[in-house]
């Protein structure tokens, strides 16, 4: 989960979702604007600023279609429940992440976007660690349940 300083200058700046499968060893799903799918406000520029969501199926728990090029929730028992739960949790974490960073800039999207654009245009030439071997910032949060389905 993060902000993509290169994609922020493109016309389509909506929250992108990328799903990687360790079982197939590649990117299996790319959604250019996943705000609606994740239950986020999809109108205007909210949850934009090059916001990028990565799902890395480290343990191979996502069901793949026969060609291993997409997620196939319908291939497993209770697949729709798995799909709904996955996207609800990812959406909640994404909302928390975005609002956490937006708060740093007095909830001004233009200030957040300007700060992200400051990171420069040069690619980082450093070898990065794999996600599952990295130390990352962690938060301890309690999600509130609203109505029957929302965990926001």
Give the pLDDT confidence of 86-129 residue by residue, as tens digits: 899 899 999 999 999 999 999 999 899 888 888 766 776 777 77
What is the model's pLDDT at position 80?
83
What is the model's pLDDT at position 133?
80
What is the model's pLDDT at position 144?
67
> Do the Cβ atoms of 57 and 12 come closer than 8 Å?
no
- Percentage of the chain surpassing pLDDT 90? 24
Average pLDDT value for residue range 50-61? 88
Strands 16-21, 26-31: pairing is: antiparallel
- pTM score of the predicted model: 0.78
Q: How far, in whole angstroms, is CA 12 from its chain's centroid?
A: 15
Average pLDDT value for residue range 70-90? 84
Element (H, E) at 26: strand 26-31
Helix, strand or coil for residue 20? strand
Token code pair at residue 44: 């205007």
pLDDT band at 148; cut points 50, 70, 90: low
Report the distance separating Cα 51 and Cα 35, nearest Å: 10
């Amino acid at each position: 989960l993060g902000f993509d300083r290169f994609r922020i200058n493109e016309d389509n700046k909506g929250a992108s979702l990328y799903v990687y499968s360790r079982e197939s060893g590649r990117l299996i799903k790319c959604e250019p604007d996943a705000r609606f799918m994740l239950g986020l406000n999809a109108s205007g520029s909210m949850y934009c600023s090059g916001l990028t969501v990565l799902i890395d199926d480290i343990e191979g728990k996502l069901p793949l279609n026969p060609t291993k090029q997409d997620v196939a929730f319908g291939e497993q028992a209770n697949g729709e429940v798995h799909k709904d739960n996955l996207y609800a949790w990812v959406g909640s974490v994404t909302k928390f992440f975005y609002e956490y960073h937006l708060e740093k800039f007095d909830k001004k999207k233009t200030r957040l976007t300007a700060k992200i654009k400051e990171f420069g245009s040069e690619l980082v030439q450093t070898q990065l660690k794999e996600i599952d071997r990295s130390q990352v910032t962690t938060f301890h949060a309690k999600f509130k349940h609203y109505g029957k389905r929302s965990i926001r």
